Amino acid sequence: METYLPISFLNDFIFCPYSLYLHQVFDNSSEELYSAAPQQVGKRHHDAIDRQRKQEKSPNVLRGIYVLSERLGIYGKIDSYYPAEQRLVESKYAITTLYKGYYYQLWAQYFALQEMGYRVAQLAFFSIKDRKTHPIALPDAAAFAELQQHIRKIAHYDFEQEFVANPAKCLHCIYASLCDKTNTDHVYA
Ligand code: SF4
């Protein structure tokens, strides 16, 4: 049976590879148990917007649909796709920096949508908090190869190898209070 990586792992792995392992371990727990306050606030805003959007169903936008790429071996949900403009948008609660992991997530959604027969001509991030749109260029062949390389790295990562935690990241990690790699608790505890 084929296995596919969740698109969300592409960004989480860059933040900290070990967080993927902890995500698997605590996946069945209530997120409230380990989430830090900012993540909970962000998620609540995101959920509220999702609920509002579901009530305002529009034929002009596809929201929250599942996408899958056999070429890349990934699956996940997109945020918003506007067929008329062939525009794909990923929303985040508060964008201050466009991290590489954000690009990998949107690139993966883009390639998956294309593979499923949707045309995408524009890509953008949307920052919910300040309502700012951040357009980005479409990924080319080099970007596809880079993304494929990143996915392979995650797929072959050995979670039992020696691992040195980065305390600066642990300080802002939702798993810090449960992680066996650090004694640092997150700043929101
Ligand atoms: S607490 Fe630190 S080492 Fe543990 S998953 Fe988070 S960032 Fe990684």
pLDDT at residue 16, as a whole number: 94
Is pTM beyond 0.75 here?
A: yes
**Secondary structure class of 102 (helix, strand, coil):** helix
Quick one: pLDDT band at residue 101, thresholds 50, 70, 90?
very high
Q: How far is the CA of 9 from the centre of ligand 1 (A)?
A: 14
- Residue ID of nearest Cα to ligand 1 atom 7: 170
Encode pLDDT of 120-168 as tens digits.
999 999 999 999 999 999 999 999 999 999 999 999 999 888 889 999 9
The answer to whether the beta carbons of residues 79 and 45 sit under 8 Å apart is no
Domains of the chain: 5-178 (3.90.320.10)
pLDDT at residue 24, as a whole number: 85
pLDDT at residue 70, as a whole number: 96
Ligand 1 atom with least separation from CA of 172 = 7
pLDDT at residue 184, as a whole number: 74
Residue 183 CA: distances (Å) to CA of 171, 179, 180: 10, 8, 8
Encode pLDDT of 44-84 as tens digits.
566 666 666 655 567 789 999 999 999 999 999 999 999 99
Task: Give dist(CA 112, CA 98) in Å, integer.
Answer: 21
Mean pLDDT highest for which of 38-47, 98-107, 158-167? 98-107
Q: In angstroms, how far is CA 65 from the centroid of its own chain?
A: 14
CA dihedral 94, 22, 183, 181 (to 10 degrees): -120
Strands across the sheet containing 66-69? 5-6, 74-77, 66-69
Residues with CB under 6 A from ligand 1: 16, 18-19, 22, 165, 169-170, 173, 175-176, 179, 181-182
Contact partners, residue 155, CB within 8 Å, separation at least 6: 5, 73
Name the residue of 24, 161, 162, 169 to mutate for ligand 1: max ligand atoms within 8 A of Cβ: 169
Provide the token pair at 50. 């999702």
Name the residue of 27, 164, 179, 187 to mutate for ligand 1: max ligand atoms within 8 A of Cβ: 179
- Residue ID of nearest Cα to ligand 1 atom 4: 179
Reported in sequence order, the residue ranges of 33-152 that DSSP labels E, i.e. its strands, are: 62-63, 66-69, 74-77, 80-82, 87-92, 122-127, 132-136
Nearest to 92 by CA among 146, 58, 53, 49: 49
Nearest to 73 by CA among 115, 18, 120, 103: 115
pLDDT for 109 beyond 90 = yes
pLDDT for 43 beyond 70 = no
- Residue ID of nearest Cα to ligand 1 atom 3: 165
pLDDT average, residue stretch 1-25: 90
Q: How far is the CA of 80 from the centre of ligand 1 (A)?
A: 30
- Residue ID of nearest Cα to ligand 1 atom 1: 176
Max CA-CA distance within the chain? Answer: 51
pLDDT for 34 beyond 60 = no
Ligand 1 atom with least separation from CA of 166 = 2
pLDDT at residue 23, as a whole number: 87
